[in-house]
Structure 1
Amino acid sequence: MAGIETSLDSETGGRGGRSSLAGNATDKALNLLEAASAPGYPHRLGDVAATAGVPKASAHRILQNLVATGFLASDGSGGYGPGPRVRALAARITQGCEEDQVMRAELEVLGRRIGHTVQIGVRTGDAITLLVKVSGPNPVQDSSRVGMQLPLHTTAIGKCVLADLADDRLTDLMGRLGLAPRTENTLTEPAALRAELVKVREQGFALDDEENELGVRCLAVPVRDAKGSVIGAVNVSTIAFLETRETLLSRVDAVRTTAGALHGLLG
């Protein structure tokens, strides 16, 4: 992107239930807004309430208020989706957003350097949401898309986030969400996941070895906010039969450079 110097240029150059988060009225409204606006809408009342962790009766009242104010829209048959005010807000945030331009520019340079699909995802509640994706040249691609929400424990991005949590918060999160399998390779035992997270902290990167999607192997390096907390990660996605695990690991330094360039950008 013209006018933006990137780090690599300069080197060469459905969450499960969310009851614990749905505390005050503002939390509940925001959780419901997020759940109702998730891909695949319109969503039924019961599903929105369960995803947001809000009792159904309270959810119905809040959702009606969000519809009345234009933040959500109702399909007239009990389904909810994003309303005009949310769509306008999203457009204002993303159009001409300097942070988005920087993220995309960094990912484009990284993608050209390594020849693979690259993404940045951040924690949103009890899931990972993909913010930016730059597809690689290979005709075989993973199924990810911008806005998609993915589990924390099955993805390399999610493992980067989990590895930064204090032990009590990690225990609470695993107990609340469970460790449901996405593939036969998913780590579903708490002890196994904890051991994996120790390696993530020591190495400074995480791997998803066909744990979220069969045939897809990913490597991610944490992205931190201005206070040093991990909020997400830069992720490289490869097709397992086209690139070995060892070759993917050789990309760590390039991904680490990009992640470092995004430090503090999102908070």
Structure 2
Amino acid sequence: MPVSAEGSALRALRVLEAVGAAGGPHRLGRIAQETGVTKPSTHRILHGLVAAGYAATDGDGTYGLGPRAFALSALFASGQHGEPVLRRLRDETGQPVHVALRSGNQAIYVQKLDTDRPYRMASRVGGQIPLHCTAIGKAILAHLDPAQRRALLAETGLPAPTARTHTDLAALEAELRKVRALGYAVDDEENEETVRCIGAPLLNGAGTPVGGVSVSTLTFAVPAGELLAHVPHLLGAARLLARATPRA
């Protein structure tokens, strides 16, 4: 008997709930067992959830929540926690701020607060960013397990959006060691010309980097030293935001 649209939606919600259950990421077999959905149907649902950004997988057969699921939770929590922190960071720095969450080999912006300055950043919520040449991305990479980071970078390579992008793996690894020690990363026109950013990781309860927060400037408007003076504000905001970061 064909499954109704309502039944299909409920099955997808059950699968999504199982994906986000404590102790994740979870394997397909366990998700199917917990939901009572057959493995073929679970696999099909998971494929759709990953494609839509509600689930994420590293290709190792396990699944966790994706950036759109985190974004939905952020919508509910923003009035109580996330958005006030971001507003304060924007007001302290006078610059646009972003939150992005990791999704596989990239990150996706889930929050952006702009300023009343006459210029606007081209970034947008839902926009995808590379990890090797952005402040948030390098903050994430620096806190990944080294073997996982090497595998990720081997898959993505080091494409160069600008002339300032690191294209040498050894040089990037050296920078990432400094990023981990300092707690923040700098994107000095490595992803977009005339754009300089500082970014800090969002670490979940297991110490895994699930995303990051950043402050962005235009190089012709804000000197590098002025931006770096805001590092304490950035790190303080990252600590507060990380308290509400899901473990999955």
Residue 199 of structure 1: aligned partner: 178
Task: Give the one of 154, 172, 175 matched to 2:133.
Answer: 154
Structure 1 188/91 Cα, relative in aligned 2: closer, same or farther at 3 Å?
A: closer
- What CA distance in whole angstroms lies between the structure 2 residues aligned with 1:91 and 1:209? 27
CA shift, 1:212, in A, is: 0.9
Whether 1:117 aligns to 2:96 is: yes
Contact 2:202-2:245 within 8 A present in 1 as well:
no
Task: Give the one of 50, 62, 82 matched to 1:103.
Answer: 82
- What CA distance in whole angstroms lies between the structure 1 residues aligned with 2:94 and 2:148? 37
* Unaligned runs of at least 5 residues, structure 1: 1-22, 39-51, 55-86
Any idea what the Cα deviations from partners look like across 1:53-103, whole Å, max 9, x if unmatched?
99xxxxxxxxxxxxxxxxxxxxxxxxxxxxxxxx9x9997565x0256521
In structure 2, give the amino acid aligned to 1:182. P
- What CA distance in whole angstroms lies between the structure 2 residues aligned with 1:113 and 1:122? 23
SS in 1 for 2:81: helix
Task: Give the one of 101, 118, 121 matched to 1:139.
Answer: 118
Structure 1 90/180 Cα, relative in aligned 2: closer, same or farther at 3 Å?
A: closer
Contact 1:216-1:237 within 8 A present in 2 as well:
yes
Residue 189 of structure 1: aligned partner: 168
Provide the aligned C-alpha RMSD in A.
Answer: 2.9
Residue 179 of structure 1: aligned partner: 158
Q: Which runs of 4+ in 1 moved over 6 A?
A: 89-92
Residue 226 of structure 2: aligned partner: 247
Residue 213 of structure 1: aligned partner: 192
- What CA distance in whole angstroms lies between the structure 1 residues aligned with 2:202 and 2:45? 28
- What CA distance in whole angstroms lies between the structure 1 residues aligned with 2:208 and 2:72? 27
Q: TM (normalized to structure 2)?
A: 0.71
Q: How does 1:43-54 map to 2 (within 5 A)?
A: none
Contact 1:116-1:137 within 8 A present in 2 as well:
no
CA shift, 1:238, in A, is: 0.3
Q: TM (normalized to structure 1)?
A: 0.67
CA shift, 1:28, in A, is: 6.8
Contact 1:103-1:132 within 8 A present in 2 as well:
no
Residue 128 of structure 1: aligned partner: 107
Q: How many residues align?
A: 199
In structure 1, give the amino acid aligned to 2:206. K
CA shift, 1:30, in A, is: 3.7
Any idea what the Cα deviations from partners look like across 1:98-152, whole Å, max 9, x if unmatched?
2565211110111111100001111111111111110022221221111111111
CA shift, 1:168, in A, is: 1.1
- What CA distance in whole angstroms lies between the structure 1 residues aligned with 2:111 and 2:238? 13
Residue 83 of structure 1: aligned partner: none
